[in-house]
Amino acid sequence: MCGIAGYIGDSPEQNILYRLRLLEYRGYDSAGIAVSDGEKSDGEKIVITKRAGELKNLEAALKQAGKTAGAKLGIGHTRWATHGKPDEINAHPHVSRDGKWAVVHNGIIENHAELKSELKKLGYEFYSATDTETAAKLLEYYSAQGAAPLQALRQTCERLEGSFAMAILHAGEKKIYFAKNKSPLYLAYAENDGKKRTYLASDVICFSAQAREYYALPDGVYGMADENGAEFYDKTGRIFLPAEKLSAAYTGEEINRYPHYMLKEIYDTLPALRAETTYFESNFTFENYPLLCGANGGRGFTKAVLVGCGTAYHAALSGAGMLGRVADLDSAAYVASEFRYYCPKIDENTLAVFISQSGETADTLAAMQEAKRRSAKTLAVVNAEHSTLAKNADAFLPVKAGTEIAVASTKAYSCQAAALYALAEFLRAAALPLQKRCAPDFSALNALCAGLSYGDGNEEKEIARLFCGGKKLFFIGRGDDYRTALEASLKIKETSYLNADVYYAGELKHGFLALVDENSYVVVFATEEATLQKTLSNAEEARARGAGIILFTTNETALPDCPEEKFFRILRVNKLGGVAGGNPLQCVQNILPWQRIAYELSVEKGLNPDKPRNLAKSVTVE
């Protein structure tokens, strides 16, 4: 989603450009920067430069114009369009009519139409289709009524409904003003070579290799920062200091020998899983998670709901299956954007699990608020440990995937599935009476780390070339195979813009068989022995209609009644061991080749797998 960078110090243009490049992974379609020397002078103006498209367009414009002499502070923004098309006019920063205020903003001002109508009646004109311009005009309006800059900011925030993180310049002041509500914003200081610098950002990645500590600003805060520090105010106008100063552990992800972050992050899966397993074995204990244990034994709830968006929802589907099979707990998965409006029956006897890579997903945050309103116990399974979701849940289970740059999630999905398995094992152990409780058994996690295989990638490249041929794609499976097919299809859609329809194998003849013909590939996900023969029978129905059948199964699956020559291709995956009755984390092994196929498809088509069109890494608006 949109990104904010603010900086006070030398060469703000180059500093902010560097930080905006760090934010590119979040997804954007335009970018802009505002700089000022912060000195009072007649006719002093804030200098705005913005361009549609990639950051290289903005950088070229800045070079052509020449550096702003004496600039000491600036704000920048990468925009992902919500209100108004992605062009230069709608790009941030947005300015007041008198040019004295410049604003960059993440989030949605939900009452912007009402405010715009009110301001138009007062003679204000609007040049963009954005909600953000409304904030710039409100700042000017309150200033014209005699309000000092900080007071004008407070009055503006009082009028705004929705979510916002804002960084603001006011002409003639060597300060950056800021405000935060329901959208992430962080502030950091650094002193290098005897020079003090202040940073403002919507993502702590912007502090990489510079500031080592930062403040995560709470909702309802506004204030101003200069090179010596910042003043923070709450909604009542009282000055305060955010209680928690955090360490900026991220120092920059190196792409090393990989041509793209997505490929690197696929191969980062195994070390991430090892780190996660080590963490769970040491920290996922009854003492550390009393929320998940009944006071006198057993569990403190009778059912669970798992909630997420996109890839996190697919992890929730797998997690619900694990909680049912491993922990014998009534569980179901829900899409976060539907949860608030079609909420299942939940109460104080429900564990609500919210899954997110960023921890800032707006729909998931809204779903958690609804669960809290209904008195459910809330657990966040999140990769970003200091995110809004992690801080506001009753308990937090870290995913430990590390920074993920590519928009299409790979290693984070695998680590989410592993975390939900660990939760299932924890809840199985917690269900026992106090006197019979023993530590959770994470042997399936260790078996996953010992047996995970990437393959050589050659078969994945062949299948990617097949899919580029223009045929219709259908994926079918049952149980966990169906859930893997959903995530595989999503990865292909995200990175290559090809459509791959996913169906339960048993539904083939209940409608979509009408779409299957000789211009189709039907990919059969069949790694589960219990349903293998029925799934292969469904595949035969598609083959009889002329479709090319691609079988995805394990290296231990025998096909005695189904000769291999019946299949157009067979892709085999390593069968995990280590657990009687089958490893519940086979789904992690199963998704790896499909993440690679999605990557190879993108490369084959000449696309950038790290930055799919129209998509953002962190979706902070509903």
Alpha-helical regions (H) of 145-239 = 149-159
Which residues 6+ apart lie within 8 Å of 254 measured at CB?
none
Sheet holding 520-525, edge to edge: 500-504, 472-477, 520-525, 548-554, 569-573
Q: Which two tokens stand for residue 199?
A: 């940073």
Q: Which of 116, 491, 611, 617 is catalytic?
A: 617
Q: Which two tokens stand for residue 374?
A: 């209904």
Q: What is d(CA 333, CA 349) in angstroms, rounded to the nearest whole number? A: 17
Instruction: Return the residue matching tokens 């920048």.
Output: 76
3-state secondary structure of 16: helix
Pairing mode, if any, of strands 377-382 and 395-398? parallel
Q: How far is CA 351 from the centre of its chain?
A: 23
Tell me how long the chain is.
622
User: Residue 220 phi/psi, 5° resolution?
Assistant: 85, 0
Q: In the block, which residue shows the tokens 């399974």? A: 381
| Residue 182 is among the residues annotated as catalytic for this protein | no
C-alpha neighbours within 13 Å on the C-beta side of residue 617: 28
- Radius of gyration, alpha carbons of the chain: 26
Structure tokens at 572: 């085999």
**For residue 610, what are the contacts with CB-CB under 8 A and spacing of at least 6?**
25, 260, 261, 262, 405, 406, 407
Pair 524, 552: CB distance under 8 Å: yes
Element spanning 4, H or E: strand 3-8
Alpha-helical regions (H) of 377-441 = 388-392, 411-430
617 has catalytic annotation: yes
The C-alpha angle 77, 262, 27, rounded to 5 degrees, equals 20
Q: Is 48 exposed, middle or buried (0-12, 13-18, 19+ CB in 10 A)?
A: middle
Structure tokens at 6: 């603010």
**Measured between alpha carbons, how far is 246 from 604 in angstroms, rounded to an integer?**
42
Q: Which of 2, 309, 343, 587 is catalytic?
A: 2
User: Tell me, what DSSP letter sits at residue 288?
Assistant: T
* Token pair listed for 238: 């009282």
Amino acid, res. 486: L
Q: Which residues contact 338 (CB under 8 A, 6 or more apart)?
A: none
Question: Distances from the Cα of 223 to the Cαs of 163, 368, 618, in angstroms?
Answer: 17, 28, 25
Catalogue the active-site residues: 2, 617
